A and B are shown apart, each in its own frame.
Chain A
């Protein structure tokens, strides 16, 4: 953000300050106000129809820390963490190699990374169901190749959920990593090799520190939304184990009709995210010195 490029003078900066108004308005209307509404509702109760009744109560927060919901929270975080790690492992080589290519190929490959966004996310998830089902493409190919005798279970397993999550979020890791990798001076890599660094050491001492901003952005963009994702666990996991997103959805538009409890879950989720983000920032700043 503070990349001094073409910094306007202080005078022109104040004259163009009003350009930030739409952004500020956006943040107030769609981030701050909803978060405040959520906070207020989370201390309320409800009537038989599920209408919010504004009578102060801490009961919702008491329930959030019930072991059942903590377990769901832990599982959601676990799936999100595994997804993030797999995305990092897959995205690093891809981003790095795209960044090292000539401009025309770089453009084409980046386009390929983004093309899936042109199709609805749900339709792409259904495509995976067609591939993974018992009488699906994957089992068919494996059977014709003589690798298996009976169809294997791919769909409606935890593995299918992780596959779906990685597939959905991989581009969000590749793109920021690419943006960082593109700026890494190739001569630094050559120098490391000349000085006797193996590939791992080069990665750990040169590539990793220099692409850290891209990695941090990628982790944020993958990990956080993956915690709240519910459609994939429903469609590819058979909805066998509830995720945090499923539980919250149930409170608002599902049978539970308990918006205050859903709001309390949302508030705790938001706070945990803010705290971990602040901690990450502080660590990053300390390290950068």
Chain B
């Protein structure tokens, strides 16, 4: 869901992981190959795991869940752990690409918040362990925008033309129009797309920047004053400057869950379970929140956060609904086609 670009490979987290890896290579250590989003697993977590277990972690990265799936299916390499978003995990489970977890080896599954345990992509966490969850919501620079912005209808107005950044994610944008029209965000039918089309067309003409990689950047730089962004990005903006606010749109919103799972082609299943179990420790899961302030599904980790971290309205918004994205299969291409067409019109 979060498309991130490969330049992030230059980030220190990876460099540190590589250093740790080379330091241990001399011992011909046991290996764990982790295939995850770029810039999502803190170096401190990987280093800590290697220090404790002696297992060397190869951290390979991708920029979108679809890219991960595509590379996994091509079969160029075997990965022990992958990190799909909810709807990709659902497709992988359905197509028998994930291995059932051995719950006996995961001693702290009870740390996971109850509302995240029974989501439709994997009810009962049989194949996946939630890593981080988040939402997509509205950020406003209140120094520049004085009127309240509560939802998509308030945001996408002519007066904000060229002052808006949104994530460059076609399925997201279409889902906002669907919920605004009172339609099911997961019902990607030709009829629903036709109904959403005029609204989407109107909205995207007002947008100045489409950016999934770092939508906070144009907001920080002052190039735009409003945005629809990943909650973790918004949380960082709020940490940076309290003039930014975050709200879940009144028309409706959806949470997302990024999970960790073991592909059927994994070689080191035992090490994969050890890594999952290590990550479930509250003090380890907390490290993820320190660097990537999304919503931590680990209740013990939440208790270890500072009051400021817990009070960040983007990290811990008042959530009631858990209607995540579902796998839509080939309909994804219909969305892509419609959005390409709309963006292409003057």
Q: Spell out A's residues near B (CB within 8 Å).
A: 46, 48-51, 68-69, 71-72, 75, 120, 122-123, 129, 133-136, 153, 155-156, 231, 234, 238-242, 247, 250-259, 261
Contact = CB atoms under 8 A, between A and B. Distances in A.
A255 B66 contact: yes
A120 B11 CA distance: 13
Contacts of A253: 62-64, 66-67, 70
A120 B336 contact: no
Given A50-B69, A133-B222, 6 more contacts: A153-B162, A156-B218, A231-B5, A255-B169, A256-B332, A257-B330
7 contacts: A48-B329, A49-B95, A238-B209, A242-B343, A254-B66, A255-B171, A256-B336
A156 B343 contact: no
Contacts of A257: 66, 69-70, 330, 332-333
Contacts of B69: 49-50, 257
Interface in B204-236: 207-211, 217-218, 221-223
Contacts of A123: 7
Nearest to B65: A255
Could you say which interface size class chain B belongs to? 35 or more
Interface in B66-93: 66-67, 69-70, 73, 91
- Listed from nearest, the 3 A-B pairs whose CB atoms lie closest are A238-B209, A256-B336, A48-B329
Interface string B305-346: 000000000000000000000010110110111001101100
Contacts of B7: 120, 122-123
A133 B66 contact: no
A122 B73 CA distance: 29
B206 to A, nearest CB: 11
A252 B70 contact: yes
B319 to A, nearest CB: 25
Most A Cβ at <10 Å: residue of B5, B329, B344: B344
A251 B7 CA distance: 20
Interface of B: 3, 5, 7, 10, 62-64, 66-67, 69-70, 73, 91, 95, 162, 165, 168-171, 207-211, 217-218, 221-223, 327, 329-330, 332-333, 335-337, 340-341, 343-344
A240 B208 contact: yes
B344 A49 contact: no
Given A120-B10, A239-B210, A255-B335, A134 B223 contact: yes
A68 B344 contact: yes
Given A51-B73, A255-B336, A238 B344 contact: no
B331 to A, nearest CB: 9
B218 A135 contact: no
B223 A155 contact: yes
A123 B165 CA distance: 22
A50 B66 contact: yes
Nearest to B329: A48
B208 A238 contact: yes
A239 B66 contact: no
Contacts of A134: 221-223
Given A255-B169, A257-B70, A242 B340 contact: yes
Given A238-B210, A238-B211, A239-B211, A135 B73 contact: no
A251 B10 CA distance: 26
A122 B214 CA distance: 14
A68 to B, nearest CB: 5
A79 to B, nearest CB: 14
A131 B333 CA distance: 37
Contacts of B162: 153
B336 A49 contact: no
A242 B333 contact: no
A133 B221 contact: yes
B64 A254 contact: yes
A48 B330 contact: yes
B221 A48 contact: no
B342 to A, nearest CB: 9
A51 B75 CA distance: 11
A75 B341 CA distance: 13
Nearest to A133: B221
Nearest to B172: A255
Given A120-B10, A239-B211, A255-B171, A50 B221 contact: no
Contacts of A239: 168, 209-211
B209 A247 contact: no
B70 A72 contact: no
A168 to B, nearest CB: 15
Contacts of A156: 208-209, 218, 223
Nearest to A252: B70
Contacts of A49: 69, 73, 91, 95, 329
Contacts of A48: 91, 95, 327, 329-330
Contacts of A234: 168, 210-211
Most B Cβ at <10 Å: residue of A129, A156, A239, A255: A255
Given A49-B73, A49-B95, A240-B207, A254 B336 contact: yes
A251 B332 CA distance: 10
Contacts of B64: 253-255
